[in-house]
A and B are shown apart, each in its own frame.
Chain A
Amino acid sequence: AQSVTQPDIHITVSEGASLELRCNYSYGATPYLFWYVQSPGQGLQLLLKYFSGDTLVQGIKGFEAEFKRSQSSFNLRKPSVHWSDAAEYFCAVAITGFQKLVFGTGTRLLVSP
């Protein structure tokens, strides 16, 4: 079955430090991959998406992600974290002709001063 794994439940990063959030997927065909962010009390907002082409995709708020087919991964990165980045981050894969998203369990990012 198609699935998305986010191995880190919580991550704490110092403000100004770099960030990498891990995402691995299991899907037989070419995946369509997404990263969403959920701030406390808010809905989910799309950060970036990968459909095809360049495996390094740029998103909003300075985030980027790299698709690595050989590793079945789509890790999210940011070179310098800001306190406002503290939130929960969800990786997702689109399946069945794009008709629904399957989400990972999320990674909660804490930013320390």
Chain B
Amino acid sequence: DSGVTQTPKHLITATGQRVTLRCSPRSGDLSVYWYQQSLDQGLQFLIQYYNGEERAKGNILERFSAQQFPDLHSELNLSSLELGDSALYFCASSVAGTTGELFFGEGSRLTVL
């Protein structure tokens, strides 16, 4: 158990819909990262937050957004969903704002039908 909690574990929805994925980092970790894992793209970095502020941005679509709240949990919002958004979305956390060891949650598997 990494200490990172992601909900929901599985989510099935339809194209055009909007979903929110939630992540609770390990106790004491200020930094949260979101990654997307799909068969064709592999593990892609989406975005990083540190203590509530956006720190780095990767291949995140404009239809996607994220935020980190004062209690340090984070949410990834995916809107206008397309079939290609079906993937495993991982949240990870680390102690400081720099990348050392990332602790990954078990992921949220999104299926868009």
Binding partners A and B:
yes
**Residue positions of A touching B, CB distance < 8 A:** 32, 36, 41-46, 49, 90, 94, 96-106
**Residue positions of B touching A, CB distance < 8 A:** 2, 4, 33, 35, 42-43, 45, 48, 55-56, 58, 90, 92, 97-107
Asked whether A101 and B42 contact (CB < 8 A) given A43-B90, A44-B104, the answer is: no
Closest to A49 in B: B101
Residues of B close to A94: CB separation below 8 A? 99
Residues of B close to A44: CB separation below 8 A? 90, 92, 102, 104
For the residues of A in contact with B, the DSSP-based class is: strand
Partner of A45, one of B58, B99, B104: B104
User: Are the CB atoms of B102 and A46 closer together than 8 Å?
Assistant: yes
Q: What are 16 contact pairs spanning A and B, CB under 8 A?
A: A43-B4, A43-B90, A43-B104, A43-B105, A44-B92, A45-B104, A46-B101, A49-B101, A96-B56, A98-B98, A98-B100, A100-B48, A100-B56, A101-B45, A101-B102, A103-B42
